[in-house]
Structure 1
Amino acid sequence: MSRTVMAVALAGAIFASEATAQTTAGATDATFTYQGQDKIIAQAPRADAISAARFYDLHGGCDGLCIAPDAAADDVETITENRVIDFMANELANGQGLLIDSRLPSDRAIGFLPASASIPHTLVTPDNPLLPDILKALGARSMLGAFNFSDAMTLVVFDAGPTTMDAHRLVNALIDAGYPADKIKYYRGGMQVWSSLGLTTEGTSS
């Protein structure tokens, strides 16, 4: 049962929650269909400082300033909000990509990007017996005891934002497991920057 639940979750299941309504008169909304549901990425007329502040997070601990590096790993592209939205409307909607929330479920409960799937960075470890199932759910194929990633999905990985390292941990764990770096993209802004720009989130109360 646990493997079935994991496979369903990693296939892109979305937390069942109401989306926060954030629309701007005259703005061009990005609309796409994901798993049979219409998703709209809109922008609020003004930033909601309270919503953005809830994603500010230093609980992971750090030496000196808690500012994530610009890049998560060699050959992993760092992308901005426009690229994330384009990814949602294209690779994600076409089933060729997955938007991954690398935070723990307790952090995700505060809010998340629409159409994102939860794969906490703590799950992708060599000693996790479900690691092969995770890689298969991402499109890898097991062949003679090894994985072939030629059909693996393109991934966009994010976390709370530039003050956290969850996305870095997941990106590097995936690469260590054999996932091609050029099939992974890092959204450094995460929930902090996304929400500070007034872009649509889900799982948050208005």
Structure 2
Amino acid sequence: MAGESSANTFGQPEDLEVRIHRECASVTVETTDGPQEIRRIQDTQNKISGEFALTSRPCPPFCIQPMVAADGVVTIGELELLDMLETGDAVVVDSRTERWFVHGTIPGAVHMPFTDATAQLDKLGCVRVDGGWDCTNAKPVALFCNGSWCGQSPTSIHAMIEAGYPAERIFYYRGGIQDWRQVGLTVTGDEDQGAALGNAG
């Protein structure tokens, strides 16, 4: 796990002030555009702005989600998700709609919107049989959406389990993009954060 790895596991720039944890300054993940480094914004005065600074969205539909999305599904945090991204031990899935995805996502995540998640289970190792799915060889998968107030990944998780996906192969990053941004981790497609990372040099 990323939080338990030694410094030798990561090729780290030792001069970064804002690290992921004591022994890890950054993690490199494979993406469709090639390797990308994930690290935290180096500006110690940086603050979240825009939509992810909001605290009180109307419920419904933006209601606080339970810590456990479904029986058998494990809830994870940033370090566990970083470990999955770096090792490739799980497919990391952005369950949000296209508008949110193009605004900025976690490097290495694949887009499978909650609106049609069960139509794409072949991307996760399931096979179509008799109008349904055989998920005997389903890959471990970690789903996320916008944060603890977002129901998009929980909706995907429930639909996947109902379609036959094994719950024990599903992980839920409940904090989602809001928590990811809150700790200043790299987001693809985010010009403001890219500038902050570039200025940190």
TM-score by length of 2: 0.75
Residue of structure 1 in register with 2:73 after alignment: 76
For structure 2, the 5+ residue unaligned runs are 1-14, 20-24, 193-201
Give the one of 25, 32, 41 matched to 2:16.
25
Cα distance in structure 1, aligned partners of 2:163 and 2:185: 33
Q: Deviations over 1:129-179 (max 9, x none)?
A: xx2xx1212111235665332321111000000111111101001111111
Counterpart for residue 105 of structure 2: 112
Structure 1 residues 165, 39: CA separation in 2 closer, same or farther (over 3 Å shift)?
A: same
State the Cα distance separating 1:34 from its structure 2 match: 3.6
- Identity level (%): 29
Higher RCO, 1 vs 2 (CA within 8 Å, ≥6 residues apart)? 1
Matching of residues 60-139 of structure 1 within 5 Å: 61-62=59-60, 66-91=63-88, 97-124=90-117, 131=119, 134-139=120-125
* 1:190-201 mapped onto 2 (5 Å cutoff): 190-201=176-187
Runs of 4 or more above 6 Å deviation? 57-60
Equivalent residue of 1:123, what SS?
A: helix
Gaps of at least 5 residues in structure 1 are: 1-23, 126-130
Separation in structure 1 between the aligned mates of residue 104 and residue 45 of structure 2, nearest angstrom: 16
Distance 1:105 1:164 in 2: 15
Match of 1:175 in 2: 161
2:145 is aligned to 159
Residue 199 of structure 1 aligns to a residue whose secondary structure is coil
Higher helix share: 2
Residue of structure 1 in register with 2:135 after alignment: 149
Q: What is the identity, as a one-letter code, of the residue corresponding to 2:48?
A: I
